[in-house]
Amino acid sequence: MEFIYLIIIVIGIYVILASSFNFVIGYGGLLSIAHPAFFAIGAYTAGILARDLGWSGWITIPIGAMMAFCCSIVVSLPALRISGDYLIIASIGFQLGLIEVLKNLKITGGAGGLSNIPAFLVPQIGSAGYAALVTVTALLVVLLLRYVAHGPYGRAVTAMRDDEAAFAALGRSPMWLKLWVLALGSGIAGFAGGIYALYFRYVTPEQFDVMQSNIILTMVMVGGMRTTWGPVVGAVLLEILPQAITFLNLPPSVLGPLQGIIFTSLVLIFMFVRPGGLVSAGQHWHGSDYGPARRVP
Partner 1 sequence: MTKVLEIKNLNKSFGGIRVADDINLSLTAGRVLGLIGPNGAGKTSLFNLAFGNVKPDSGSILLNGTLLDGMTPHQRARCGLARTWQHVRLFPSLTVLDNILIGARGYPGEHLTQVLFRPSRLAAHMKGSLEKAYGILERCGLGSAAEQTLADLPYGRQKLVGVARALMNDAQCLLLDEPMAGVEGQLYSIMQRVVREVAESGVAVGVVEHNVAFIRDLCDEGVFMFAGKILARGAVSDLIADTQLTELYFGT
Residue numbers at the binding site for partner 1 (CB under 8 A): 147-148, 151-153, 155-156, 158-159, 161-163, 165-174, 177, 180, 184, 283-285, 287, 289, 294, 296
CB of 234 to partner 1, least distance (A): 21
Other CB atoms within 10 Å distance of the CB of residue 9:
23
CA distance 240 to 247: 11
Nearer to partner 1, 47 or 230 (CB): 230
CB distance 87 to 31 below 8 Å = yes
CB of 144 to partner 1, least distance (A): 8
CB of 17 to partner 1, least distance (A): 20
Nearer to partner 1, 29 or 205 (CB): 29
CA distance 231 to 282: 15
Distance of CA 134 to the CA centre of its chain: 15
Nearer to partner 1, 1 or 170 (CB): 170
Nearer to partner 1, 167 or 208 (CB): 167
With a CB cutoff of 8 Å and minimum separation 6, the contacts of 281 are 224, 225, 226, 227, 230
Nearer to partner 1, 261 or 296 (CB): 296
CA distance 200 to 207: 12
Three-point CA angle 140, 143, 144, nearest 5°? 85
DSSP code per residue over 80-104: HHH-HHHHHHHHHHHHHHHHHHHHH
CA distance 74 to 28: 18
CB of 183 to partner 1, least distance (A): 8
CB of 76 to partner 1, least distance (A): 15
Q: Is the dihedral of CA 236, 239, 243, 245 positive or negative?
A: positive
CB of 295 to partner 1, least distance (A): 8
CB distance 281 to 225 below 8 Å = yes
Nearer to partner 1, 248 or 293 (CB): 293
Nearer to partner 1, 84 or 242 (CB): 84
With a CB cutoff of 8 Å and minimum separation 6, the contacts of 123 are none
Other CB atoms within 10 Å distance of the CB of residue 16:
29
CB of 215 to partner 1, least distance (A): 27
| SS3 call for 203 | strand
